[in-house]
Amino acid sequence: MSIDWRAAFTRALPYEEFLQVHGTDAHRERWQRVYERVSLTDAQKELLGGFKRQMNILVLAGAWCGDCANQCPILRRFAEHSDRIDLRFLDRDAAPELAEQLRINGGSRVPVAVFLSEDFYECSRYGDRVLAFYRQLAQDLLGPACPAGVVPPGEELLKAATQEWLNELERVQLMLRLSPRLRERHGD
C-alpha cells in the first residue's frame, strides 16, 4: 500500500499542538524537562542553519512514550535552528493505518521519523531509538541494573543521541541537496 505522505503531513500537528492534544500535563512536563536539557554546539547550529533544501519531518509518536519524550525534543531543537525544517507529529494510536505501515521489527514502535522532500517524496525512515539509546538499554537490561523508564537520559547519552539524530538529518539534507531532480528544479 502506497502512503500519501502529503496528506499525512497535512493532518499532522506541530510539536506544541501535538502535546496539547495528545498529552497530559505529566507528559508535557516530561518532554519539557528533556527539551530544556538539549543543547547544540555552535558547529551543530551552523550545520542546521546552512541547510538549503526544505525538509519535512513527520514523526509518528506517542506523548505517553518515554522514548518519544527522550528523543522528540531533540528534533524540536533542530527545527528551531533551521528554517528549512518543517517538523510535524502524528499520534500512533490516532493514525493506526500509518502505524501499520511504519512497523519496526514487527511492532508499532515510536518514535519513527519519516524524512520527506519538499514535494513529499520519502527520503528516509529513522527510529525507534538511536544507537546510543540501544547501547544504554542493552547495558541496563543485559547487565546488573534495570532501568526505571521515567528518568531522562544523562548528559552524555543525550549528547550522543542528539548527534546521532543530527547525523541522519545531515544525511537526508545532503541527499536532497545533491538530488538531480531538485538541483534541476532549483537551478543549482
pLDDT value of position 151: 61
- Write the pLDDT tens digit of every residue in 10-59: 999 999 999 999 999 999 999 999 999 999 999 999 999 999 999 999 99
**pLDDT class for 78, splitting at 50, 70, 90?**
very high
For residue 52, give the H/E element and its range: none
**pLDDT class for 145, splitting at 50, 70, 90?**
low
- List the domain boundaries for the chain: 5-186
User: pTM for this one?
Assistant: 0.92
Is the pLDDT assigned to residue 152 strictly greater than 90?
no
Which of 3.30.1330.20, 3.40.50.20, 3.20.20.70, 3.40.30.10 is the CATH number of 5-186?
3.40.30.10
pLDDT value of position 148: 44
